[in-house]
Amino acid sequence: MCGHWDTRNKNKFEDLYAKANFVLSGLKELKKLFNIKEIYVEQSLHSFRSGFSSAQTLSTLSRFNGIVSWFCFQTYKIRPKMIAAVSARKRIGIKISKGENAKQKSLEFILDQVPSFVVEYTKLGNVRPGYMDRSDSCVIAKAGYLEWSQKS
C-alpha cells in the first residue's frame, strides 16, 4: 500500500498538534489493516542548504517527524529506524548526478520499478501534491526492506 495523508489545508488544521492527531488516527487505522513488524522513517534533514527550505521550515518538519516517529512507537511498540533520503536512494540504485532534481529522479525510478505506483497530474501536467511524497516513501520503504532482508 502506498498513500499519503494531506495535511496542507490550514483551514482544516489549526496547528501542528491538530495535524499530528490526524496522522495518529491514520496510524491507528493502518494497525487494523496490516501486521506491521518494521517501521522505516525518512530522517530529517540536519543542515540548511541555500535555495531550499528555510531554517524555520526544516525545524517544523523535524518536529513533526519526531512527533510522528513517537506515535509510530506508541501505536506499534516498534522503534522506527531512520534512513537518510540520500542513503536510501543510493541503496536502491538511484543515481543522482550533480544538478539533477533528486525528487524527480526518484519519482521516475519508482514509476519504472513499481508497476502499481500511479501518479496523478494537474491540468498543466505537473505532479499533484502528495505524489512526490508517496514516491519518497516508496524509496524509504524499498531501502528499509533491503536493510531488513539483509539482516534476516
Q: What's the pTM?
A: 0.87
Distance CA 113, CA 134 (A): 14
Distance between CA 47 and CA 96 in Å, rounded? 19
Q: How far, in Å, CA of 49 to CA of 61, rounded? A: 15
Q: Where are the domains of the chain?
A: 14-83, 85-152
Nearest-10 Cα torsion for 15, 17, 20, 21? -110
Q: Which residues of 23-43 are buried (b: 16+ CB within 10 A; e: fewer)?
A: bbeebeeeeeeeeeeebbbbb
pLDDT of amino acid 53: 65
pLDDT at residue 86 above 80?
Answer: yes
